[in-house]
Amino acid sequence: MRATANPFKPTAGGEPPLLIGRSKIIRDFEKGLDNGVGAPGRIMLITGPRGTGKTVLLTVFGDKARDRKWDVIEETASEGLCERLVNELRNKDRLLDRLSIRPSISLSGASISLGEAELSPKRMPETLRNAMSERLDLLGKHHAGLLISIDETQAAQRSDLIALATAIQHQIRERRDIAIVFAGLPQMVSDLFNDDVITFLRRAKTNVLTDIPIADVQDALGRTFRTSGMTISEDQLHTAAQATEGYPYMIQLVGYHIWDVADMRDSDIVSDRDVHDGLAEARIDLDNAVCIPELHGLSRNDRAYLEAMAQSDTPSATSDIARRMGKTNNYAATYRKRLLDAYVIKETERGEVDFAVPFLREYLQRQR
């Protein structure tokens, strides 16, 4: 019998039916928790382009920590980050709930309201540090640790990161059971962590979420289709897996749309036509969610540079791009730098440039 609900999850942060290709990083994180204070996995940086699975991974990390009876605070970087952290750290209701303790005395007020002075930018590092220490004191009595995860770190304010880094560093020096994970777009490393004040975070290992091997994609797609009661051939799976290029968001889109097209025919056997139509739908969604927004903020000349790059199916040298644009090398170098800074393109080991945004080359080629 075919399941009624589509098992694929092509939504931001949506947990996929099978989390492919991330077992090593999850293991590293778990080792960090289990190996005690000072273990390398206790401070982690996770980067990768949009749609590579950073948010999903933070959710998994949170679950792994909760499995070990750790307390977990999950935040997204935006204005007021430290203030929100302080409030969560001081929320006693949440803590007691977490530790499954029924309060023997009634606590007046779940969270202590803070004076404005405490939350002033100048006092924030100290306020955050104290709130963290108090929380860790309480948790320590129950042999529980604290995980803090920060998503979209590239959007953090520098002052917030400094306060947070200083507070964490203090706790680690005091040998407290704490772990922190920062996830964000690749620019977070160069923009925020290459900063003298945050040197201690610079020593943390950066995990870059890379493409998933096609064979693993094929295997996972096959298992998900079959578990949901759909029959699909290895040839069809191969075509579908190839089309994803190992990009996590595209894996979900491709699976979702092929499943959906077959489902609309009321069939539990996927046809070649379903694969073809599903892939076309997936590409439209991908263009709208990734390529079009990425190009939106760029100037006409930036785009001309990218179009010149897209004339080749492989990385290009700046001199070749300049020639294709009919411009000087100097002119092209200006746009090269702008696009590198925006992480739309990346430099290869040979000094050539390639697209950093998944499927942008194909999109531009189709627009021609």
Ligand X SMILES: Nc1ncnc2c1ncn2[C@@H]1O[C@H](COP(=O)(O)OP(=O)(O)OP(=O)(O)O)[C@@H](O)[C@H]1O
Do residues 353 and 345 lie in contact, with contact meaning Cβ atoms separated by under 8 Å? Answer: yes
Query: Of residues 32, 41, 51, 145, which one binds ligand X by CB under 6 A?
Result: 51
User: Per CB under 6 A, does 358 bind ligand X?
Assistant: no
DSSP structural state of residue 314: S
Q: CB of 195: closest distance to ligand X in angstroms?
A: 22
Q: How many CA atoms lie within 13 A of 291 on its CB side?
A: 21
Which parts of 12-99 are beta strand (E)?
43-47, 71-76
Q: What is the DSSP string of 117-168?
A: GGGSTTTHHHHHHHHHHHHHHHHHHTT--EEEEEESGGG--HHHHHHHHHHH
Q: Which does 107 bind (CB under 5 to 8 A by kind): ligand X, Mg ion, none?
A: none
User: Per CB under 6 A, does 246 bind ligand X?
Assistant: no
Select 132 or 250, whichever has its Cβ closest to ligand X: 250
Select 57 or 178, whichever has its Cβ closest to ligand X: 57
- x/- mask, ligand X, residues 249-288, rule CB under 6 A, reads x-xx------------------------------------
- CA neighbor of 45 nearest in space, from 199, 285, 207: 207
What is the SS3 assignment for 175-195? CCCEEEEEEECCHHHHHHHCC
Select 74 or 83, whichever has its Cβ closest to Mg ion: 74
Q: Assign residue 300 a region (left: φ > 0; alpha: ψ between -120 and 50; beta: otherwise).
A: alpha
Q: CB of 365: closest distance to ligand X in angstroms?
A: 23
Query: Of residues 33, 44, 45, 56, which one binds ligand X by CB under 6 A?
Result: 56
| Binding residues among 43-72 for Mg ion as defined by CB under 5 A | 54-55
User: Per CB under 6 A, does 22 bind ligand X?
Assistant: yes
Select 77 or 136, whichever has its Cβ closest to Mg ion: 77
Q: Are strands 146-151 and 71-76 parallel, antiparallel or unpaired?
A: parallel
Select 167 or 192, whichever has its Cβ closest to ligand X: 192
Select 95 or 282, whichever has its Cβ closest to ligand X: 282
Distance CA 33, CA 179 (A): 7
Chain contacts with ligand X (rule: CB under 6 A):
9-14, 16, 19-22, 48, 50-56, 248-249, 251-252
